Amino acid sequence: QLQLQESGPGLVKPSETLSLTCTVSGGSISSSGYYWGWIRQPPGKGLEWIGSISYSGNTFYNPSLKSRVTISVDTSKNQFSLKLSSVTAADTALYYCARHGGGGNFWTYYFDFWGQGTLVTVSS
């Protein structure tokens, strides 16, 4: 069974860069052409798609965050990562990594496997 696990610092200072990694187990990040994405959920609020990447490094980002987001992939470690720069308190959220449904090297808009999420708090 495919599993995704987020990891990274739980506390980041304002203006610094948030860095998270998602480790995929139970399957290869390179198989079947799936895209892999990041989604966040501020406390008590709704979901927001951040961006996505393919195993070959093709990326798509939420236009509202694009200037601050970088997503990368390391197929040798079966991981993909998120960097969000110049963070503020508004970036405090539960950050999820997830697999896009469908596969076949096509980006899709929905997610069929999710990690459990990791809470990142932005505070000095």
Partner 1 sequence: QSALTQPASVSGSPGQSITISCTGTSSDVGGYNYVSWYQQHPGKAPKLMIFDVNIRPSGVSNRFSGSKSGNTASLTISGLQAEDEADYYCSSYAGSSTALFGGGTKLTVL
Residues of this chain that bind partner 1 (CB under 8 A) = 39, 45-49, 60, 62-64, 96, 101, 107, 109-112, 114-117
Residue 14 or 101: which CB sits closer to partner 1?
A: 101
* Residue 6: CB minimum distance to partner 1, A: 10
Residue 17 or 64: which CB sits closer to partner 1?
A: 64
* Residue 47: CB minimum distance to partner 1, A: 4
Residue 34 or 96: which CB sits closer to partner 1?
A: 96
* Residue 28: CB minimum distance to partner 1, A: 21
Q: How far lies 39's CA from each of 10, 64, 118, in Å?
A: 16, 13, 11
Residue 89 or 109: which CB sits closer to partner 1?
A: 109
CA 45, 119, 55, 111 torsion-angle sign: negative
| Concatenated DSSP letters of 69-91 | EEEEEETTTTEEEEEE-S--GGG
* Residue 101: CB minimum distance to partner 1, A: 6
The answer to whether the CB of 83 falls within 8 A of the CB of 113 is no
The answer to whether the CB of 52 falls within 8 A of the CB of 110 is no
* The total number of residues written for the chain in this structure: 124
